Amino acid sequence: VIEIIAESAAMREARRLAERVAATKANVLITGESGTGKNALARFIHALYVQSQAARDGDAPYVEIDCAALPRELLEAELFGYERGAFTGAVAAKPGRIEAAHKGTLVLDEIAHLTADAQAKLLRVIERKEFERLGGQRTVRVDCRLIALTNVDLEEAVKRRAFREDLYFRLNVVRVSIAPLRQRREDILPLAAKFLSQAAAKHGVRRAVLTKEARRMLEDYDFPGNARELAHIIERAVIIAGGGRIGAEDLPETVRLAAQTKARRLRPLTLREVENEYIREILALTKGNKSEAARILGISRKSLYERMRSSEE
């Protein structure tokens, strides 16, 4: 059973959309930075589909293929399969992943990496539900839901003519965008709780708890690697803290440094600091003209000089 943690409004909206589309057979495009939970959401959609009325066929298959992980030549063979003798080394016919996904879900991860050829063939799969294996004459009929995942801007790829517009439109029927974790901080601690349980089970230790300071640091951190980075941070902390309490010292240096920098930035300024800041701003505005600056600030030139001198001390 797949659980999608969604505390923030943005993630709740994404999960709600996923739930709605799950019962249908509509194609889905899931976008989001690396580690935001695209694969997790795709599995969630499939799991709900299987439970729903729409899946009357019993165990609908779930097939995932990472378009970025395979060399171009292999990707097509992997997707569409091949007949014996289609290319050197094709000693026996092999069905592709699309055939394997018949009556189920086909997840195309990193869809932007599809070759032009594969894009054309995939369009035909979507529009006519048919294709041929490499080197094959026989037309194969297939019926599956496509879930495309991408962490790049597909519209931009379309503009560059690196991605077919017609295919893009076909994939983009329902789009679920997952915001970066730093833009939905309410999800950080609930996700951390899930990862704490997972790590405890995986390593056979007592479920650790985060100290208040550790929680605050995590909530403040920007997570360039999103939920995946959080999962790694928690797993590492569980291992070094040995299943007890996880404190700031058990978090990676990147997290601790970020917290320090932030704290410094967030320290309240003194009146003198605000005043100096403002004087610098006005001097910039008057391009260094001190009489003009003094006039705007409502003080004498002499007073301005004094303040400038004391701010340098």
Count residues near ligand ADP (CB under 6 A).
Answer: 17
Contacts 24+ apart (CB under 8 A), 196-205: 196/234, 196/238, 198/231, 198/235, 199/234, 199/235, 199/238, 199/239, 200/238, 200/243, 202/235, 203/235, 203/238, 203/239, 203/243, 205/238, 205/242, 205/243
Phi/psi for 164 (5° steps) reads -65, 130
Q: Does 225 participate in binding Mg ion (rule CB under 5 A)?
A: no
* Binding segment toward Mg ion, per CB under 5 A, in 33-41, 84-92, 138-146, 238-246: 33-41
CA gap 200, 128 in Å, rounded: 48
Q: Does 35 participate in binding ligand ADP (rule CB under 6 A)?
A: yes
Q: Does 38 participate in binding ligand ADP (rule CB under 6 A)?
A: yes
**What's the start-to-end Cα distance of the chain, in Å?**
64
> 27, 31, 36, 105: which one contacts ligand ADP (CB under 6 A)?
36
CA gap 57, 103 in Å, rounded: 7
Report the partner that residue 237 touches, choosing among ligand ADP, Mg ion, none (CB closer than 5 to 8 A by kind).
Answer: none
**181-220: which residues touch ligand ADP (CB under 6 A)?**
194
Nearer to ligand ADP, 12 or 256 (CB): 12
Report the partner that residue 4 touches, choosing among ligand ADP, Mg ion, none (CB closer than 5 to 8 A by kind).
Answer: ligand ADP
Q: Does 228 participate in binding ligand ADP (rule CB under 6 A)?
A: yes
> 22, 65, 101, 231: which one contacts ligand ADP (CB under 6 A)?
231
Report the partner that residue 192 touches, choosing among ligand ADP, Mg ion, none (CB closer than 5 to 8 A by kind).
Answer: none
CA gap 36, 159 in Å, rounded: 25
Residue sitting closest to ligand ADP (CB)? 37
Residue keyed to tokens 């298959």: 61
Count residues near Mg ion (CB under 5 A).
Answer: 1
Q: Does 180 participate in binding ligand ADP (rule CB under 6 A)?
A: no
Q: Does 237 participate in binding ligand ADP (rule CB under 6 A)?
A: no
Any residues with CB less than 8 A from the CB of 258 and at least 6 apart, and which?
A: 217, 220, 221, 222
* Binding segment toward Mg ion, per CB under 5 A, in 24-32, 36-44, 51-59, 255-263: 36-44
Nearest distance in Å: CB 40, ligand ADP: 4
With CA atoms as reference, report the closest residue to 25 among 131, 147, 178: 147
> 24, 39, 115, 311: which one contacts Mg ion (CB under 5 A)?
39
Report the partner that residue 199 touches, choosing among Mg ion, ligand ADP, none (CB closer than 5 to 8 A by kind).
Answer: none
Nearer to ligand ADP, 50 or 279 (CB): 50
DSSP, residue by residue, 28-77: EEEE-STTSSHHHHHHHHHHHHHHSTT-TTSS--EEEEETTTS-HHHHHH
Q: Does 37 participate in binding ligand ADP (rule CB under 6 A)?
A: yes
Cα–Cα distances in angstroms (integers) from residue 243 to residues 16, 206, 216, 246, 265, in the given order: 34, 5, 19, 8, 33
Q: Which stretches of the chain bind Mg ion, using CB under 5 A?
A: 39
Residues forming the site for ligand ADP (CB under 6 A): 3-6, 11, 32, 34-40, 194, 227-228, 231
